[in-house]
């Protein structure tokens, strides 16, 4: 047990720090960099990382670190929208299926089966072709892909909690279904759902950057992380920093979100 504690804590602290820094980037980017994310200095184009330009500069002389900092808000808010869509839609479906049972349960779970049968990226692309390109649409598309996971989890939680003695006692003492749901079932299912939300947050950041890379997310010159990497792609031979550094930021954020979700799952 002690060994486990010693082995886990530092990693978790680093993970929370990474997430805190990135959230700060999204809220107050100007505290971290004084440069303009959109206007470049042509004379300083394609410079390697240095003291003046931590992550180097891109093809039209924009400071890459500034662009990554200002891009945080797009990735984070996109992931936030995606997780909200999945959480609200999935939990609603799951709770409905789990508490009503019968035909509703069967219909909802078949729908969930369909969502699971279509690969995540194809599902997201189908929704994007429907809604059109853009940051919010990409986020919604990614969120719909996580509805199935939330629905399955919340359904199984509801079914589990419903069988508990105190819930039976609540029904026995005359409580209505919706009262029991809000009073007992939802609060007791919450921890597991929050753990999944943290995991989906990391997945959503990955998926949104993928859609951004493919060109279906925010339009240029938005400094969205996937788009930054896509733009740096033309300079792989000469300017490695344009693709490597933004990618490392994405990896760090996703790793941290996964690490935190793991810790949340453990405390259950």
Contact residue for other proteins among 255, 263, 264, 265 (CB under 8 A): 255
Binding mask 123-162 for other proteins (x = CB under 8 A): x-xxxxxx--------------------------------
Among 194, 240, 263, 265, binds other proteins (CB under 8 A): 240
* Angle CA 39–43–45, to nearest 5: 70
How many chain residues bind other proteins (CB under 8 A)?
43
**Which SS3 state, helix, strand or coil, does residue 63 take?**
strand
Which window, 80-88, 159-167, 190-198, 254-262, contacts other proteins (CB under 8 A)? 254-262
Instruction: Give strand pairing partners of 57.
Output: 63
Task: Give the contact letters, 71-110, x = binds to other proteins (CB under 8 A), - = no.
Answer: ---------------------------------------x
- Choose, by CB under 8 A, the member of 24, 121, 175, 186 that binds other proteins: 121
- Identify which range of 18-26, 56-64, 113-121, 151-159 contacts other proteins by CB under 8 A: 113-121
Q: Site for other proteins (CB under 8 A): which residue of 215, 219, 220, 266?
A: 215
8 Å CB contact between 146 and 84? no
User: Is 130 in contact with 209 (CB distance < 8 Å)?
Assistant: no
Interface mask (CB under 8 A) for other proteins, residues 183-202, using x and -? -------------------x
Please name the residues in contact with 82: beta carbons below 8 A apart, sequence gap of 6 or more: 139, 140, 142, 143, 146, 200, 204, 207, 208
> In this complex, which beta carbon is closest to other proteins, that of residue 153 or of residue 254?
254
The Cα–Cα gap between 220 and 224 comes to 8
Which residues touch 236 (CB under 8 Å, ≥6 apart)?
242, 243
Q: Which two tokens mark 114?
A: 């369909």
Q: CB–CB of 129/147 below 8 Å?
A: no
Among 73, 153, 229, 260, binds other proteins (CB under 8 A): 229
Burial 97-108 (b: 16+ CB within 10 A, else e): bbbeeeeebeeb
Q: Considering only residues 102, 237, 267, 268, which one is a binding residue for other proteins as defined by CB under 8 A?
A: 237
Using CB under 8 A as the criterion, which residues of the chain lie in contact with other proteins when the complex forms?
Answer: 7, 110-111, 113-114, 116-123, 125-130, 202, 206, 209-210, 213-216, 226, 229-230, 233, 236-237, 240, 243-244, 247, 250-251, 254-255, 258-259
């Amino acid at each position: 047990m002690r060994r486990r504690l010693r082995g886990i804590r530092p990693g978790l602290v680093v993970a929370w720090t990474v997430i805190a820094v990135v959230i700060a980037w999204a809220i107050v980017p100007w505290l971290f960099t004084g440069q303009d994310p959109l206007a470049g200095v042509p004379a300083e184009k394609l410079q390697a990382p240095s003291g003046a330009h931590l992550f180097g500069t891109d093809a039209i002389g924009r400071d890459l670190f500034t662009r990554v900092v200002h891009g945080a808000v797009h990735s984070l808010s996109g992931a936030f929208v995606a997780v909200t869509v999945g959480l609200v839609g999935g939990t609603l479906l799951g709770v409905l299926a789990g508490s009503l049972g019968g035909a509703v349960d069967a219909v909802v779970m078949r729908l969930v089966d369909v969502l699971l049968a279509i690969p995540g990226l194809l599902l997201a692309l189908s929704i994007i072709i429907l809604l059109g390109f853009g940051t919010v649409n990409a986020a919604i598309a990614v969120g719909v892909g996580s509805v199935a996971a939330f629905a399955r989890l919340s359904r199984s939680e509801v079914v589990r909690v419903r069988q508990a003695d105190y819930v039976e006692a609540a029904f026995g003492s005359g409580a209505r279904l919706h009262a029991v749901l809000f009073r007992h079932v939802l609060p007791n299912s919450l921890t597991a759902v929050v753990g999944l939300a943290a995991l989906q947050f990391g997945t959503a950041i990955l998926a949104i950057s993928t859609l951004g890379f493919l060109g279906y997310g925010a339009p240029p010159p938005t400094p969205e992380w996937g788009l930054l990497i896509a733009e740096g792609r033309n300079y792989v031979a000469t300017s490695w920093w344009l693709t490597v550094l933004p990618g490392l930021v994405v990896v760090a954020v996703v790793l941290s979100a996964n690490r935190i979700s793991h810790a949340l799952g453990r405390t259950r």
